[in-house]
Structure formats: C-alpha cells, structure tokens
Structure 1
C-alpha cells in the first residue's frame, strides 16, 4: 500500500549483480529479472526506462513483472483502462529493448502476443501457488484462459504436501500426482517454462525429473487428441527442433483409464516411447508421489491403455529410433 517500494535498479547489499551475471554467462546461463511492483504502477512507470536499460547492460533479456496487491493509485484496478494501457506500454518498451516479458497478475491476454511476440507469457489466472485448487481446474484452462495466449502456470510440483512454511507443520495438500505435473508441460502451453518446486524435492525423484529435462518449450505441431472440458485433456506436440513427440494428459477428480492411439505419428517410422504414468495405487489426494516409468517401441499403429488416478495424468516422450 506504498507508492515507493523499489527503484528496480538498486540491488540489496548482498547481491553482486555484476559478479553473478558474469558467473552465469560463463556457464552459458542467462538470468531473469524480477520486477515486483507491489501494484504501485506509477512508481514502476517512473523507473521503467532505467530498469530496462540496466537489464540491457547486464545481459538480462527477460523480465518477470508482478502486480501483487491493490493497484496504486487508489481507485484504479487491474482491469481499469489506465492499468491495461500500462501493461501494453511495458510490453512495447520491452520490445524496443529486445526484452521478453512474463507478466504475473496482469490483465488476461487476448492475443496480444501475436502483435508483440516478446510478451512470452502471462499468469493472469489461478496458478499453482494456490495449492488447494481443484484438479478440474487444469482441464478447463486450456479452453478458456489459454485461448488468449501462453500461460505461466508454474508446473512441475513433486512434493504435494506443503509443510515447509506452515504453522505447526500441518501445511496443505495439493491434489495432483507427479505424472499429472509432468503432463502440464504439454497441456499448459508456454514457450517459457519452469521447474516450480525445490531442488531437494526433485532429488528424490530424478527418474521422473528426466522428463522435465527432456521436454521442449516450443513446438512445430500440436494435436489435441481428446478432451472434455472439466473432465480431461490429452495433447500431443512435436518438438520444434527435432523429430521427437511428447504427449501429456490430465484428468479431474475421477479415475480414468485412457486408451492412447499413436496414429498422430508419421507412417512407417519407429519410435521409443518413455511413459510416465500413475502407479496402480497412486492417488492425487492420498498417495500422489508414486508412479511408473516404462519404455517401449511404438509406431503409428500402436495403442496403449494408460491409468490416470484421481487428480492424475501421464506424460510420454517419443523419440525416433535411428
């Protein structure tokens, strides 16, 4: 509720921006800037040019902006005319500076990324920071929110019971399975993806984490194989940079045994499919962190029956056999 919180160019004393960027770039890694405005929009407008110039100076080419809280000045709102213009101005200025924008809490996109492709993603809907969302939610968003542009849904949660920061360690239970979380990299399109959990949680399941390491972020072809909004969705996508395919499917609060037809694959080619699926005793409510990983040879005539638990799903990497 304050007009001035940050100037977006002054790091905390223990953050050596030059040294950190030099080290990251020496490893072939680019860092991403975070501009949390605390919804003090006029303050961000005052500092935006300097903030983007600082990013250019240190080699940041992507910014995650945030608008948490009530919009300041008072009387304005996230969807007010002034605020919508601000979001557009931020994207335009970023385009001039060759900076990609991933805006959180911003107005729901309506295809703006076709005009300004540097708007690489938005949140703009209930994302996974809300741990107690219904599994049904993930079967609806592809037909509503995602029609307007890519969504930063922050997929890849592996520990479903959130106790780390809860009073008394009780925490909350996320209603999803690990294969469900892997499938979100396919069903929730964004060319900017992340691994949203803590490193220690991934270390316990490095065999499943392999899918996150493998899955691309952009595609040359997408095939929506089957869906019923509010119940389930299954999507196949072809990697933009290779002949590999990936499939993801998620379900709602109901157990589902799904028959996958590989007829989207090119005729006459053979592939190795690695299938990450819910275990027979898996359950997105009571037993979320068990799964099976199987590898098999498939082609366009193959079919598989895959089990999806409550709040579950499956993910498949399909790579051509040389």
Structure 2
C-alpha cells in the first residue's frame, strides 16, 4: 500500500464581511478531467465540470440543527486544506481483489465548528459535512440538492406504494421497482425516488447519484421539481412511535408516526458521503468503485472465517420437490435432501427460509417441531455444507444477542434478515449493530427487504448481500406487462454500482415474452435459459442463490454444473459491452479462470467480444449460447467447447431476451 500525502494549509482567513462577493474553491481529479468547485457566499454551493463543460450547476448544500443553526448559511471560512492520496484497498469479497483509492481532497473549515470535505476521483465527485460539536446534536433536515444546467434525461426508481399519499407514507417501502426514463422536469413530483439514480449527460457521459458511509443517519431519497432541472433531497424523519412486532407474522416493525427531525447523533462526527459518479460511457458504470472506496474501513481484522458461496434455497420454488420418497415441507428430511443436493453439487450453503420458527410469537427461539436444527447442522457439517436461517427484522432485533449467540453455538453460519423496509436512522443503526453482533459470533449476513448498499459491506465484510433490487422473486406474482428483461440490462449500471445484489436468479423454467405468466408455486423467468446462466456472471452476489428446485436442477445437469462452478467473488472485472437498457457484457476472473456473461433486452443481438486482454493462449472456451429456437422455446440452448480464436475475438448471438455464458481456461 502506498500513500502520498500532499497536505497544504492554504490559509487562515478572517471572516469575510457579509457583503463580500462569493468565492469559489476548486479541486481537480487526479487525471485533470473533472473539476469540482465549492462556492462560498451567503450559502454553500457545489458544482462540477467534466472536460470544461458544466455537468452539475451550483447546487445548494446545508444542514439545519435544532435550535436554528444552519451549517452552510452565511458561512465564514477559517481554514482551507488540500491533500492527495494514492492507496490500494484490499477487497476480498468484491468484484476485484484490490481497489485503487486515488483522489484529491479539499477541506473547508468554517466558524461554528464544522467543515465541508470535497473529494475528486477520476470517476466522480463526493462531498460530506463534518462537525466538531460537543455532546449530542439533533439534525432537523439536510439539503443535498443536485441542480443541472439542462433538463437531462434520468433513469430513476420510484418508491413503489399502491397509494402515494405523502412522503412520510413513502418512507416505508421495499426499495424494489423498475426504472422510469424521463427528462428531469417530467418526473412525478409526488413521488420519492430511491438511490441510485442515473442522469444522462451530453456526449454519452453518465452521472450516477448515490451515497456511502451511511452510519447512524437516514438514507437519502430524491424528489423532482417540475419547474427546474433539479433533484432535491428528502430524508426520512425519525420514528416517534413504532408498532413492534407487527405486520406479516409479527416479523416487522411498522412506523405509526414520526418526529420532526431526521437524526439525533454525536456532535463530533463525519456525515455520509453524497456521491456523483461520472463516466465517459455506460460501460464505465460497471467498473466504478466509489461506493466501496468511500465506505469506512473494515472493522474485522481477521476475515478468514467469512465464507462466500453458492446457496441452495427453498422459498422461490415453494419447496416443490418431486421424484423423492417423502413429503416435502419444512421438516428435517426435506432439508437433509437439500444438504445432500448442495454437497453433490459443490455448493457451500443451504438457506432455510421463512417457516422454520413458529409463526406469530415473533420468537426465533421457538423452532417448529418438525425440524431438528441440531441434527441438520451436524448432517451438514459432515458434508461441508453450512446452514443459513431466514429471520424477520422484529424478532431478530428484539432478541439479537441471545438469538445470534444461540445459533452460532449450534453451528448455524449466518442469517438472512428480512422486512426492514425503511432507511431511517433507526434501521441504519440496526444494520450496523446486526453486523457487529454477527461478526463477534463469526456469522455472515444477507440483508433482504433493505435499501441499497452504502459502504456497509466494506466496513463489515461479513455482510455479504443486500436486496434493494427488483429481483426474480417478483416474477412469482408480477403481471405479464412486467418487463424484467429490460430491467436486467438496466440494473447492473445503476443499482449494482452501489454493491452486491440479492437478485436470486437461476430459474430452470424459462419463458419467451408471450409465454410468461406469474405462477406463484411453480414460477418461471422471462427470457432464455442462457440468460439465467449469464446472470451468475453479470450480477454480483457473494452469496448467490440457486433459486429453483433441486429436482429441476437435477433434470438440467449441464446448467447446474455451470452455475455451481461460477465463483461468487472475483479477482478482476473487465466490462466488455454496455448500453443501459439494451445490452451488457462483462468478463470476471477468479484465479486463472475467466468467466464471461452477456445479456440483451427483448431484441436479438450479435456481439463481438474483445478478449485480447487475456493474452497468449491457448484458451479453451466452454460456452452456453441461445439455441436456434430459443426465441420460441426459451429453454433451448447450445453447449460447446472450442479454442478461442488467436485474435481474442469472440462472436456470440443472443436471442430476444437472451444471454451468453462461458468459462475460459488454459
């Protein structure tokens, strides 16, 4: 690791007169292509240029505290500091083994004991407030607006609620929706958008808005203005009254009413980074590490016990087994069968989802009598298969220490915690506490029913997965008008730039556009079989679910063999093609083996993938490509093994809703 500080104290300024003209402080990215500015006048405004062109107009930022003080109102500069860094971050459970952390930084300190930190990377800008106040402070609101010089087109996910009502109603949601594509001023001002949000800049550039190092503070929503090209910040207010437990089987905590402030927190602290990732094209979004870089450093010194991997999962296919001599259900015999399947297939885990604990009492210590967990743990240990348990938010939080200690001592390897469905300060605190408690007991976590990643997987690397994605589960109930195929070639550029996705792919029942229909008990996917295989390469999930039934996989052994062999964390990632909403292709390396995945929308597509970066061969390509009838019979595929052309060019054809997957080795 290298670090090159260029600490520069630019001056101790006397407080300017109230009538003084605004002054701008500028900072460039290490490669000089991006330039950020902080303008200090009657307020604070941040702007950004790319190659000399304004892509973010001066945008007001402030933070209002209880008692009337507003950080950023009539600011008086007392000190300016600049420094640069060039570091390497070890990232063992990520899309690459090491992350470059090269940036320039500007810190402006003001009277009233606060600072604004601006940081420029080659692929974007980030800023945050830092306070040095005594005791506890109450933050009433934060202004983190993004103002644009033109009415740029956006791709944004609205909060999905059947009734819009007010913003307070929308704060509770699952953070799952498809994307709308509209000019900024045509977005619905009645609706909140959750992050990340994509802005299409001129000349093919892209800007992705999100946040990182979210700790003891609510997450950020955006809201559009019909009058000007501006995305305004909205943050969930603090819950005053919470019905706990409540909701589905008493698994949830339901907010009844809220306070008028957003956070009560330490007066001396750094606040979350507000991020504008900027790339020259769509494919650049597949490679951005800004959210991971800006997360707080790992709090786990020894990560050797953390085990990512593939997971045999019961819920999506509703425990529908066939060809067995027992009645499938939530019972010991069924899960021994899942363990045997996982062991034979080389999978690291099984996940026992909802139903293993007694419904109703919100008590995770009460296991249904049909299930002997200790027997299953011993059975799995003999076969090198770990067991993960599903848990609702309310019973898990309400008895966390006892639950985690008990099941860790039993030998359970981790939890999938569900139904948080909020990102106010209470829930953000819960995620950090759950990560810390599970880390002490060497347990991994998969957060379902949760907002997007915001740096937590760097800070607590035992948190391997996050939902906050419109995943395959939605096709159990979504109408035929739902366009999951287009979502699949949009989400990797937007949501996945924030971190891992618990998308849960792997369907063996595959349907063309006209043949798809929702079937809750025996669900299907949209698009081809090869699309499902390719998603194990394109989508990043350190805990990767095999969502379909073992019975279906055992009838499709070629597909199972490929899926089970795909690593879930990577040493290197290379984007091969990218056009948001149209196509995506990536290559990922684990050790000496490369995997390639490609997806298209509902249009058939021919791709020529440049793999010349692999270097001298010979390289052998084992590929799965859409069969000649895949447009009609989506399960049709062709498996081939051939030498890679010496040029390194690989030609592939994708059917409508299709995919391509390959394993490349010497």
TM-score between both structures, scaled by the size of structure 2 = 0.43
* Deviation readout 1:262-308 (Å, 9 max, x if unpaired): 2131x22212111101012212xx42110001110126623232111
SS in 2 for 1:152: coil
Q: Secondary structure at the match of 1:318?
A: strand
Instruction: Tell me how far apart the structure 2 counterparts of residues 53 and 299 of structure 1 sit (CA, whole Å).
Output: 54
Provide the residue aligned with 2:89 in structure 1.
none
CA contact (8 A) 1:139 1:229 kept: yes
Cα distance change, pair 236–305 in 1 and its aligned pair in 2 (3 A)? same
Structure with larger RCO (C-alpha < 8 A, sep 6+): 1
Aligned to 2:585: 234
Could you say if the C-alpha distance between residues 105 and 133 of structure 1 is closer, same or farther in structure 2, counting changes exceeding 3 Å? farther
Which of 182, 185, 190 is residue 536 of structure 2 equivalent to? Answer: 185
Q: Give yes or no for the alignment of 1:22 onto 2:371.
A: no
Matches within 5 A, 1:1-322: 1=247, 2=250, 5-37=361-393, 41=394, 43-67=395-419, 78-131=422-475, 132-160=482-510, 165=520, 174-239=525-590, 242-265=591-614, 267-283=615-631, 286-298=632-644, 301-320=647-666
- Give the structure with the higher percent strand: 2
Q: What secondary structure, in the 3-state scheme, does the structure 2 residue paired with 1:224 have? A: strand
Give the helix-richer structure, 1 or 2. 1
Which stretch shifts more, 194-203 or 245-254? 194-203
Instruction: Measure how far apart 1:47 and its partner are.
Output: 1.1
**In angstroms, what is the RMSD of aligned CA positions?**
2.0
Shift of residue 201, structure 1, vs aligned partner: 1.8
Tell me if structure 1 keeps the 8 A contact 2:625–2:660.
yes
Counterparts of 2:370 and 2:415, CA distance in 1: 21
CA distance in 2, matches of 1:6, 1:313: 42
Check 1:299–1:117 CA distance in 2 against 1; reply closer, same or farther (3 A cut). Answer: farther
What is the CA-CA distance between 1:84 and the residue it aligns to? 2.2
Task: Check whether the contact 1:264–1:300 (CA below 8 A) recurs between aligned residues.
Answer: no
C-alpha distance in 2, partners of 1:46/1:130?
29
> Number of residue pairs matched?
299
Gaps of 5+ in 1: 72-76
Question: What does residue 74 of structure 1 align with?
Answer: none
Q: In structure 1, what is the Cα distance between the partners aligned to 2:609 and 2:392?
A: 43
Q: Say which SS state the counterpart of residue 135 (structure 1) adopts.
A: helix
Q: Is the 8 A contact 1:128 1:154 kept in 2?
A: yes
CA contact (8 A) 1:245 1:317 kept: yes
Q: Give 1:172 deviation, angstroms.
A: 6.7
Q: Is the 8 A contact 2:380 2:387 kept in 1?
A: yes
Distance 2:551 2:397 in 1: 38
Shift of 1:9: 2.1
Runs of 4+ residues over 6 Å off in structure 1? none
What are the ranges of 5 or more consecutive residues in structure 2 without an aligned counterpart? 1-246, 252-359, 476-481, 512-516
Secondary structure of 2:608 counterpart = strand
Q: Which has the larger radius of gyration?
A: 2
Distance 1:294 1:232 in 2: 23
Is the Cα contact below 8 Å between 2:415 and 2:445 reproduced in 1? yes
SS at match of 1:306: strand
Separation of aligned partners in 2, 1:194 and 1:282:
24
TM-score (norm 1): 0.87
3-state SS of paired residue (1:32): strand
**SS where residue 490 of structure 2 aligns?**
helix
Q: Partners in 1 of 2:617 and 2:645 — Cα distance?
A: 6
Match of 2:545, SS? coil
| SS of residue in 1 equivalent to 2:474 | coil
Secondary structure at 1:185 match in 2: helix
- Indicate conservation of the 8 Å contact 1:176/1:312, yes or no: yes
Distance 1:8 1:180, change over 3 A: same
Structure 1 residues 116-158: Cα deviation after superposition (integer angstroms, max 9, x where no partner):
1111011111110111442011111112111221111111111
